[in-house]
Amino acid sequence: MGESLAVLRKMPSSCIDLIVTDPPYHTTKKDNIYGDKAFKEDEHFLEWMDAFAQEWQRILRPNGSAYVFCSATMASRLEVQLSNHLKPLNHITWTKPNEPGFDGWKGKMNKESLRRWYPHSERVLYFEQNSNTPAQKSRLAEFLREVRLQAGISGHELTELVGAYGKVNHGGAVSNWETGRNVPSREQYARIVEVLLSTGKIANMPPYEDVVRPFQMAAHLEYTDVWTFPSVRPYKGKHPAEKPHEMLAHIIGASSYEGDIILDCFSGSGSTAVAALTLNRCAISIDIEQQWFDRTVSRVETTESVSPTTSLEAARSNRKKRAIESLFD
Ligand X SMILES: C[S@@+](CC[C@H](N)C(=O)[O-])C[C@H]1O[C@@H](n2cnc3c(N)ncnc32)[C@H](O)[C@@H]1O
Residues at the contact surface with ligand X, assessed by CB under 6 A: 3-4, 22, 24, 33-35, 239, 241-243, 266, 268-269, 271, 286-289, 292
Select 65 or 159, whichever has its Cβ closest to ligand X. Answer: 65
Interacting residues of 326 by C-beta distance below 8 A, sequence separation 6+: none
CB 73, min distance to ligand X, A: 15
Dist CA 276 CA 256 (whole Å): 9
15: nearest Cα among 273, 319, 276, 327: 327
CA distances from 277 to 17, 98, 106, 233, 280 (A): 14, 29, 33, 22, 5
Q: What is the DSSP string of 50-67?
A: HHHHHHHHHHEEEEEEEE
Q: Which residue is nearest to ligand X (CB)?
A: 268
Select 173 or 286, whichever has its Cβ closest to ligand X. Answer: 286
Select 30 or 191, whichever has its Cβ closest to ligand X. Answer: 30
CA distances from 160 to 8, 84, 136, 177, 186 (A): 45, 39, 25, 15, 18
Select 67 or 208, whichever has its Cβ closest to ligand X. Answer: 67
Dist CA 79 CA 125 (whole Å): 7
CB 39, min distance to ligand X, A: 11
Select 71 or 93, whichever has its Cβ closest to ligand X. Answer: 71
CB 274, min distance to ligand X, A: 9
CB 302, min distance to ligand X, A: 16
CB 57, min distance to ligand X, A: 18
